[in-house]
Amino acid sequence: LVIHSDCGCHYRWPEWIGICEEAGIARSMSRKGCSPDNSRMEGFFGTMKTEMFHGRDWAGVTLDELGKRIDAYIERHNTTRIKRSLGSMSPLQYRRSLGLAA
Protein backbone atom coordinates (compact mmCIF):
# COMPACT_ATOMS: atom_id res chain seq x y z
CA LEU A 1 0.00 0.00 0.00
CA VAL A 2 1.30 3.45 -0.94
CA ILE A 3 -0.11 6.75 0.34
CA HIS A 4 0.62 9.90 -1.64
CA SER A 5 0.92 13.43 -0.30
CA ASP A 6 1.74 16.72 -1.92
CA CYS A 7 4.52 18.23 0.22
CA GLY A 8 2.22 18.74 3.20
CA CYS A 9 3.78 19.36 6.59
CA HIS A 10 2.11 16.20 7.90
CA TYR A 11 4.28 14.16 5.55
CA ARG A 12 7.31 14.84 7.74
CA TRP A 13 5.44 14.82 11.06
CA PRO A 14 7.07 12.14 13.24
CA GLU A 15 3.74 10.71 14.41
CA TRP A 16 2.54 10.36 10.79
CA ILE A 17 5.77 8.62 9.85
CA GLY A 18 5.29 6.24 12.78
CA ILE A 19 1.67 5.51 11.85
CA CYS A 20 2.69 4.65 8.28
CA GLU A 21 5.63 2.53 9.33
CA GLU A 22 3.55 0.64 11.90
CA ALA A 23 0.87 -0.09 9.29
CA GLY A 24 3.41 -1.06 6.61
CA ILE A 25 2.40 1.84 4.36
CA ALA A 26 4.98 3.29 1.97
CA ARG A 27 4.89 7.09 1.82
CA SER A 28 5.13 8.94 -1.49
CA MET A 29 5.49 12.69 -1.89
CA SER A 30 5.66 14.89 -4.96
CA ARG A 31 8.41 17.42 -5.44
CA LYS A 32 7.59 21.04 -4.65
CA GLY A 33 5.97 22.62 -7.69
CA CYS A 34 5.45 19.29 -9.47
CA SER A 35 1.70 19.02 -9.79
CA PRO A 36 1.36 16.57 -12.72
CA ASP A 37 2.10 13.55 -10.55
CA ASN A 38 -0.77 14.49 -8.24
CA SER A 39 -3.26 15.90 -10.74
CA ARG A 40 -4.86 12.59 -11.74
CA MET A 41 -5.84 11.74 -8.17
CA GLU A 42 -7.00 15.30 -7.49
CA GLY A 43 -9.20 15.04 -10.60
CA PHE A 44 -10.57 11.66 -9.55
CA PHE A 45 -11.45 12.83 -6.04
CA GLY A 46 -13.10 15.96 -7.44
CA THR A 47 -15.22 13.83 -9.78
CA MET A 48 -16.07 11.37 -7.02
CA LYS A 49 -17.17 14.15 -4.66
CA THR A 50 -19.33 15.71 -7.37
CA GLU A 51 -20.92 12.45 -8.51
CA MET A 52 -21.43 10.56 -5.25
CA PHE A 53 -20.93 12.83 -2.26
CA HIS A 54 -22.18 16.41 -2.69
CA GLY A 55 -25.93 16.98 -2.75
CA ARG A 56 -26.76 13.83 -0.79
CA ASP A 57 -28.04 13.46 2.75
CA TRP A 58 -25.33 11.66 4.72
CA ALA A 59 -27.06 11.96 8.11
CA GLY A 60 -26.99 8.61 9.90
CA VAL A 61 -24.55 7.01 7.46
CA THR A 62 -21.87 5.11 9.39
CA LEU A 63 -18.19 5.11 8.45
CA ASP A 64 -18.59 1.45 7.48
CA GLU A 65 -21.48 2.30 5.13
CA LEU A 66 -19.56 5.28 3.71
CA GLY A 67 -16.62 2.95 3.00
CA LYS A 68 -18.94 0.53 1.19
CA ARG A 69 -20.41 3.35 -0.90
CA ILE A 70 -16.95 4.61 -1.82
CA ASP A 71 -15.89 1.07 -2.79
CA ALA A 72 -19.02 0.72 -4.95
CA TYR A 73 -18.34 4.08 -6.63
CA ILE A 74 -14.73 3.14 -7.42
CA GLU A 75 -15.85 -0.23 -8.80
CA ARG A 76 -18.41 1.47 -11.08
CA HIS A 77 -15.93 4.16 -12.07
CA ASN A 78 -13.34 1.59 -13.14
CA THR A 79 -15.60 -0.96 -14.81
CA THR A 80 -18.67 0.71 -16.30
CA ARG A 81 -18.38 4.52 -16.26
CA ILE A 82 -17.32 5.61 -19.74
CA LYS A 83 -14.94 8.48 -20.39
CA ARG A 84 -14.72 10.34 -23.68
CA SER A 85 -10.99 10.83 -23.16
CA LEU A 86 -10.64 7.02 -23.27
CA GLY A 87 -12.55 6.65 -26.52
CA SER A 88 -15.92 6.28 -24.76
CA MET A 89 -14.68 3.26 -22.81
CA SER A 90 -14.42 2.59 -19.10
CA PRO A 91 -10.89 2.58 -17.63
CA LEU A 92 -11.00 -1.24 -17.52
CA GLN A 93 -12.18 -1.52 -21.14
CA TYR A 94 -9.45 0.91 -22.19
CA ARG A 95 -6.72 -1.03 -20.36
CA ARG A 96 -7.98 -4.26 -21.92
CA SER A 97 -7.90 -2.68 -25.39
CA LEU A 98 -4.21 -1.92 -24.82
CA GLY A 99 -3.50 -5.39 -23.47
CA LEU A 100 -2.76 -4.01 -20.02
CA ALA A 101 -5.54 -5.86 -18.17
CA ALA A 102 -7.00 -9.34 -18.37
- pLDDT tens for 59-84 read 999 999 999 999 999 999 999 999 89
Residues 11 and 51 in one domain: no
Cα separation values, 94 from 36, 47, 53, 81, 83, Å: 21, 19, 26, 11, 10
In this prediction, residue 1 has a pLDDT band, given cuts at 50, 70 and 90, of confident
Residue 28: domain span: 1-34
Residues 40 and 5 in one domain: no
Residues 91 and 60 in one domain: yes
Mean pLDDT of the chain: 86
